[in-house]
Amino acid sequence: MKKQEVDSLPLTAAYFKLLLEDLYAKFKENHKLNELPKSMQFFGYGNYNAEKPNLKSDLEQIGSDFINGKYLYDKVRDYHKGKPVIKLNRYYKAIVLLYLGYESIDQFLNKNTLGDVTEKKQLDLLYDATANQTYYYVNYYFGEENLILKGETVISNNWKKVKHTYVYPKEDGSIETHYNFGNIIRREDTLHINSKTLLDGKLVEGASEIYYVGHNDLASLKFLIGTYCTFDNYTNTVAGEAIWEKCASKEDMEERVKDPRIPPYIAMEVRNKRIVNKSIVPTQFLEISNHSPYASIYESLTGTYEFNFMIDGVGVEQLKFKIAPNNYKMIPLTENVYFENDSLKLLNKGSVVHFSFDFTGIIAFDQVQIYFKTYFLKPNSEIQNGTFSGIDNENRLVNGEVRIQFKANVY
């Protein structure tokens, strides 16, 4: 079984000494110092001067949480007292490694080798051989520039930790990567993920995700389907559907992410499954979006409709329904007809209405799209004409004219 990195950072005294020397050197380099300040000033605790260089401030510029300088000082004091193992908790582990320029503890160990015996002691501390193995997934979603994007998702620590590596292809053929680090909580039949992202060298709040897993053994999951809520590269708040597909190994995951092709069974599910809210703060309802000025026309859609569908001048079907004035729900009034899916939109600056229906029940159509002008949406309007296209219940493509009788709600 593959060894799994533990959550905290336990270091032997020998490796803690190397980490400490790295910290000292990095601090002096960053602040162009020949000597370190005294301990209180260096670690940033007690009666220190926050305006002068200190490690506490340096680390707080990377992460979003408070740094306790006394905590770090106490760890150094434990080392000088001869303690054989010094342990940093998960947050300080991540921040210190980032400060030193390491993406993982493995990079630090690879750079600092101390011989087989000492290294084995360190690895025995650092890895738990009995923990569950790491799981690798390709993460698909509909993202920026209206593209289906994918990235690497690595699950570790017995399904408690996740690392996302999002890959953005650029026009010049290069790629841009963004990293998210998250905690996983299982609640009954769902997984909840809250993550932080590495942005300009800092860990900031990233995304929230929820995936349905049922009551299955997590290790057996071939696919996970869920939703995410985060911000995009343009600081817009976004939400959408994500699908994870399991990989056989880390190498398999990396190869799949490099491949520019998107599997059709993924594309047909996630394409256009994305909500983008622009980064605006409206001061009145007319500024909510570019559709807002047409709210009064949208309100006039409520009422009762009777459609007579014509193909080559011959009536082939009738449909009656209403749009409720309180919540704009579309309610069928024709007997034995139900709306499996429905939508209504205003197009062309509010001048055209678009209805879309997927039907079940006794009706000549399975799906129809209907377009008509909005100018007759008023009380006591006469019969007006629109156009429709769709699929009938014999799977034929059909189109024609629809005659519309409308009765507005009277308040």
> Strands, E, within 61-160: which ranges?
85-88, 127-128, 135-142, 148-156
32-56: per-residue pLDDT in tens? Answer: 999 999 999 999 999 999 999 999 9
What is the three-class DSSP state of 16?
A: helix
Are 109 and 122 contacting, i.e. CB atoms less than 8 angstroms apart? yes
pLDDT average, residue stretch 134-151:
95
What is the three-class DSSP state of 332?
A: strand
Are 41 and 48 contacting, i.e. CB atoms less than 8 angstroms apart? yes
Taking the model in full, what pTM does it have? Answer: 0.67
Give dist(CA 340, CA 384) in Å, integer: 26
Return all residues near 80 (Cβ < 8 A) that are at least 6 apart. none
pLDDT at 71 (0 to 100): 94
Q: CATH for 135-277?
A: 2.40.128
> Strands, E, within 127-283: which ranges?
127-128, 135-142, 148-156, 161-169, 175-187, 190-199, 202-212, 223-231, 237-246, 274-277
197-250: per-residue pLDDT in tens? Answer: 877 777 788 899 999 999 888 888 999 999 999 988 888 999 999 999 999 999
Phi/psi at 44 (5° precision): 80, 60
pLDDT average, residue stretch 149-175:
90
CB-facing half-sphere around the CA of 32: CA atoms within 13 A: 0
pLDDT at 380 (0 to 100): 64
Most confident residue range from 128-137, 180-189, 239-248, 381-390: 239-248
Phi-psi sector, 220: left (phi>0), alpha (psi -120 to 50), beta:
alpha
pLDDT average, residue stretch 4-33:
89
pLDDT band at 172 (very low <50, low <70, confident <90, very high): confident
Q: Which one, of 223, 222, 184, 181, lies nearest residue 202 by Cα?
A: 181
Question: How far apart, in Å, are the Cα atoms of 50 and each of 20, 66, 232?
Answer: 22, 14, 34
pLDDT at 2 (0 to 100): 44
pLDDT band at 360 (very low <50, low <70, confident <90, very high): very high
pLDDT band at 354 (very low <50, low <70, confident <90, very high): very high
pLDDT average, residue stretch 259-278:
96
pLDDT at 114 (0 to 100): 83
pLDDT band at 376 (very low <50, low <70, confident <90, very high): confident
Phi-psi sector, 233: left (phi>0), alpha (psi -120 to 50), beta:
alpha
Structure tokens at 188: 């009954």
pLDDT at 254 (0 to 100): 95
pLDDT average, residue stretch 176-185:
90
Give dist(CA 399, CA 198) in Å, integer: 52
Triad 241, 245, 251: Cα angle to 5°: 135
